[in-house]
C-alpha cells in the first residue's frame, strides 16, 4: 500500500484520481474507481449541453443541469453503497460554461447538505478549465475539499492564494482540454510542487506503476488518469472508443485542435484531421462548432471515423482493457516494487 497526503485527506486506499472526462458523465466508471479504493469522479461536461442549446447526448435526458447532477450523485451513491467508496465531481469553469457551472456545483453542495451519506462520501469538488474564484467560498463552507486543475506554476500559486485545498498539475500530453502553452508533465509537475505549499497531484501521461512512482519522486501526492481509465471494462465510453484507444500503438497519434472551450487533445483520425483543416482554412466559427457537435453525435452513434474523440498521448502506451480494480491494483503493485526494490538497488 502507498500512503500519501492524498490518501490521508480523503480516506482512500490508493493515491489515484479518475479524471473528469467528457462527453460522458462517467457514473459507472466513477463508482468502479471508488469501489476499488481510488477517487472516482462524476464528469459534468455533458450535463450542461441542454442548457447551452444543444440536444441531449450520451444518455443524458432533457433535464436541467441541477437535475442531471443530483440524479448522477444519487446513482453513484447507490453503486458505492457496499464499499463506502469516496467520490467527487469535476466541473469546467470556463467562461463559455459559466452559466452552467454554478448550477452544477450548487447542486452537488445541495446534495451534501441534504443527504448525510453524500456528505460523508462526496468529498471533493474539482474545478478546471477556468477561474474557480467564484466558487471557492461556497465549497469551503460546505466542508468539501476543493481541487483545481492548473497548467502552470503561476496558476497554481494563484488558486492556492484563493484557498483551494490541492492543485492538479496537468501536462500538455493529457487528453481533452489542454493549455495554450505546451508545457509537459516532466517539467510542469516538479515546478508546481516547488511553487506551492498545498499538495499537488500530477496529470497527463500517467497509466502504470512506473509513472505513479515517477510522480511521487517528483513530489506529487498522487496521480490523475483519464485516457487510461477510458480503456477499462466498467468505463461508460462505448466499446469501439475503448478499442480505438487500446489499438493506437503510437504515442504520436494525437493532435491538438480547437474545441468549444479552447484547445483539446484528440485521438488522431479522419474527423480530427478534417477539424484541423477547417481551422487552417479560416472556416467561420459557426461551421467549426457545427462540425464538432456532429462529431459528438458520431461518437454516440459509434461512427469512429467521423468522431472527434478526446484522448491523451498515453493512448499509445495502452495495450489492454482490464477491469478498474485490476488496473488500479496492478499500478500500485508495480509502483511499490519500483520504490521498494528497484530504486534502492541504484543507491550505492
Q: Are residues 92 and 18 in the same domain?
A: yes
Dihedral sign, Cα of residue 206, residue 238, residue 90, residue 274? positive
Q: Are residues 290 and 162 in the same domain?
A: no
Per DSSP, the residues of 264-308 read EEEE-SHHHHHHHHHHHTT--HHHHHHHHHHHHHHHHHT-GGG--
Number of domains in the chain: 2
3 state DSSP class of 149: strand
With contact defined as beta carbons under 8 Å apart, do 295 and 271 qualify? yes
Task: List all residues 6 or more positions away from 229 whose beta carbon is below 8 Å from its beta carbon.
Answer: 18, 19, 21, 29, 33, 235, 324, 327
Question: Tens digit of pLDDT for each residue in 62-81?
Answer: 778 888 899 999 999 999 99
Looking at residue 49, its pLDDT comes to 67
Q: Are residues 229 and 267 in the same domain?
A: no
Q: Are residues 255 and 107 in the same domain?
A: no
Q: Are residues 252 and 234 in the same domain?
A: no
Q: Are residues 123 and 220 in the same domain?
A: yes
Q: Are residues 56 and 194 in the same domain?
A: yes
Q: Are residues 261 and 240 in the same domain?
A: no
Looking at residue 172, its pLDDT comes to 94
Q: Are residues 170 and 27 in the same domain?
A: yes
Looking at residue 56, its pLDDT comes to 60
Looking at residue 30, its pLDDT comes to 97
Q: Are residues 207 and 269 in the same domain?
A: no
Cell reading at 132: 474557480
Which residues constitute the domain of residue 301?
248-306
Mean pLDDT for back-to-back runs of 10 residues, the chain (348 residues): 96 97 86 98 81 63 84 96 97 84 94 96 94 95 97 96 97 90 95 98 97 98 97 93 93 85 87 87 80 81 86 96 98 97 88
With contact defined as beta carbons under 8 Å apart, do 8 and 32 qualify? no
Amino acid at each position: 500500500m502507498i500512503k500519501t497526503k492524498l490518501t490521508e485527506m480523503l480516506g482512500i486506499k490508493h493515491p489515484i484520481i479518475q479524471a473528469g472526462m467528457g462527453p460522458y458523465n462517467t457514473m459507472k466508471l466513477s463508482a468502479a474507481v471508488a469501489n476499488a479504493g481510488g477517487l472516482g469522479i462524476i464528469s459534468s461536461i455533458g450535463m450542461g449541453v441542454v442548457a447551452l442549446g444543444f440536444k441531449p447526448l450520451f444518455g443524458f435526458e432533457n433535464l436541467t443541469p441541477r437535475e442531471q447532477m443530483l440524479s448522477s450523485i444519487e446513482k453513484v451513491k447507490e453503486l458505492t453503497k457496499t464499499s463506502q467508496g469516496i467520490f467527487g465531481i469535476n466541473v469546467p469553469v470556463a467562461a463559455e460554461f459559466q452559466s452552467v457551472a454554478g448550477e452544477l456545483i450548487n447542486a452537488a453542495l445541495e446534495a451534501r447538505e441534504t443527504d448525510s451519506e453524500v456528505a460523508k462520501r462526496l468529498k471533493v469538488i474539482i474545478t478546471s478549465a477556468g477561474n474557480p474564484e467564484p466558487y471557492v467560498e461556497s465549497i469551503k463552507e460546505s466542508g468539501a475539499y476543493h481541487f483545481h486543475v492548473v497548467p502552470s506554476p503561476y496558476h497554481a500559486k494563484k488558486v492556492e492564494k484563493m484557498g483551494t485545498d490541492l492543485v492538479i498539475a496537468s501536462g500538455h500530453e493529457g487528453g481533452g482540454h489542454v493549455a495554450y502553452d505546451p508545457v509537459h508533465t516532466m517539467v510542469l509537475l516538479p515546478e508546481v510542487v516547488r511553487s506551492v505549499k498545498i499538495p499537488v497531484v500530477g496529470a497527463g501521461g500517467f497509466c502504470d506503476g512506473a509513472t505513479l512512482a515517477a510522480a511521487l519522486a517528483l513530489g506529487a501526492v498522487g496521480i490523475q488518469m483519464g485516457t487510461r481509465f477510458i480503456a477499462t471494462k466498467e468505463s461508460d465510453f462505448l466499446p469501439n472508443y475503448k478499442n480505438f484507444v487500446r489499438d493506437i500503438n503510437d504515442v504520436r497519434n494525437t493532435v491538438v485542435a480547437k474545441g468549444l472551450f479552447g484547445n483539446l487533445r484528440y485521438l488522431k483520425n479522419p474527423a480530427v484531421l478534417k477539424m484541423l483543416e477547417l481551422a487552417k482554412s479560416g472556416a467561420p466559427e459557426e461551421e467549426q462548432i457545427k462540425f464538432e457537435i456532429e462529431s459528438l453525435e458520431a461518437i454516440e452513434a459509434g461512427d469512429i471515423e467521423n468522431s472527434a474523440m478526446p484522448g491523451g498521448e498515453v493512448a499509445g502506451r495502452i495495450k489492454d482493457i482490464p477491469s478498474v480494480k485490476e488496473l488500479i491494483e496492478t499500478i500500485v503493485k508495480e509502483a511499490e516494487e519500483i520504490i521498494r526494490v528497484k530504486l534502492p538497488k541504484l543507491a550505492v
